[in-house]
Structure 1
Amino acid sequence: MKQLDGHIPPGPLKEKWTTYRSTMPLVAPNNKLRLDVIVVGTGLAGASAAASLAELGYNVKVFTFHDSPRRAHSIAAQGGINAAKNYKNDGDSVWRLFYDTIKGGDYRSREANVYRLAEVSANIIDQAVAQGVPFAREYGGYLDNRSFGGVQVKRTFYARGQTGQQLLLGAYQALCRQVALGKVELYHRHEMLDVVLVDGKARGIIARNLITGELERHSAHAVVLATGGYGNVFYLSTNAMNSNVTAAWRAVRRGAYMANPCFTQIHPTCIPQSGEYQSKLTLMSESLRNDGRVWVPKKVEDAEAIRKGLKTALDIPEEDRDYYLERMYPA
């Protein structure tokens, strides 16, 4: 039985990727001009990857089955984006973001990769700001943060309740800039049907033009699949119906390994289905989390008085309120 190899560099946790980045082989600028890269998907990951690779000098082809990259499902990530910038001076750090992410992933994530994510989180915010993402700001002009996801610090950068959409528009603008410069070829309404392997390495794709029905061959020196999650393998999901894991399945069919299939995105702020045949849950904005508190009366007589209309919630003093979720699940 073959084992999955995450290709995680050796060494102490805090130094693995930093050391690797300092010692890995580089591609000379003049050689980048000769290398082609295919990116499948134009959400936050795909659009950002395509724009960044093109800016580095590579020749990029990017494919989306939407009529525009702006239709990617990344717009649904509305609550915010975390980064260890410690703007609130409340004790946040790379280590705290790393630990909270590991804990939130039920201790199943690859620790070295999560630590690298925490390390580069601040740079990602800077990149988004440079792309024009209108993050919320305080009166003095600094980027604002809010508490999110039950953590003990304020590290979530947000753009009202539209964070995913604004991030996607920023990535889309960066992508369009490279398209205008001729470094990126953008293929709308194209679906990847298969991955082309040469000596066991992905060297291209077979795509179908969804308008004409034609099959097309595209070759490259590397292929990046940024095609989203597979939550719709379950009957009830908050994902769009076309988030259907077909691209990942086609890669698996060609020999790619599927790591951690248990990692499926769920949302605890879902409104349950209202009918027997409803195929999607309704998602409340995650921006609501941590901005409100849930309580019930501590005294039975107060609860009965509220039910009978003899009292309102405002009549219950603070000391007689039971914030039971905070009591049962302390941060």
Structure 2
Amino acid sequence: MRFNYFGENNRSFSFIEKSKFFFIFSIAITILGIIVLAAMGLNYGVDFSAGSNVDVVVKSDLSAKKEEMEAYFKDSGLHDPHLTISATRVTMRFDEILTDAQEKALRTGFTEKFDKEASFEVNTVDVEMARELQYNALKAVLIASIGIIIYVSIRFEWRFAIAAVVALLHDAFIVISLFSIFRLQVNLPFIVAILTIIGYSINDTVVIFDRIRENMRFSKVKSHADLGKVVNDSIWQTLTRSINTVLTVVVAAACLFIFGSESIKMFSLAILFGLVCGAYSSIFIASPFWLLLKKGEKPKAAAKTPAAS
């Protein structure tokens, strides 16, 4: 038995009548995101900026020794790294590429001073590789968007496709803006998270679009107001499903963030942000925006019934 939060008689709220407020809110958030990105940019990890990332697996918890570790690196002649320390792992992000001699000195000094059983993994990205990764990430998002436009246009119509892509780009941009505001690190798992968010957002949006198309087949739509009522009813009919779906995935993503390793924390956090944004855009942005595009469509002439002979 499906759990329904909303009874049939508890649908006084109109998503369509209030859509302009949601549009204004989303436009304001987008403008704020553009300003923040222009002023602060993104906090790129080693995957997208030249430098070295040293991942150290330790046997003892070194969290209490962070200040001592920072002082050691400052006095050792190595570049001052950005440190992230957990119970079993130490991550060092160097803004410059370590030479072979510096890498050897790092391994030797760390094992002697902090943990003799530590194991090291060093990843280095040069400037050209960082630029190529940025280009490929943008290309992946662009290709995904084009594929979605083609798919939704074939299955529905081009207005549904435009509304769906606007909604998913809205979700991706808000997540990117949040990472910029809070200075969270952007790396390859973050790009995977953005593509995952796009996939989730389009899935949730298509469910509502499918209900709109189904309801239109059995409704007598004579005016734009009638079409607005169909859209509003369709959102209400799928609202419980949308909320249940997002809550289920949020619980899984939250568990990954809380109990997962350091390497997937930013991925999990991006997914959490994206799930909330995806649910919001699917309900409040995509369908009302489709209705806005539909407003300019000329009504089709009614089919003439042949006269009886």
User: TM-score, normalised to structure 2's length?
Assistant: 0.23
Larger Rg: 2
Return the structure number with greater strand share. 1
Greater relative CO, 1 or 2 (CA 8 Å, sep 6+): 2
Return the structure number with greater helix share. 2
User: TM-score, normalised to structure 1's length?
Assistant: 0.22
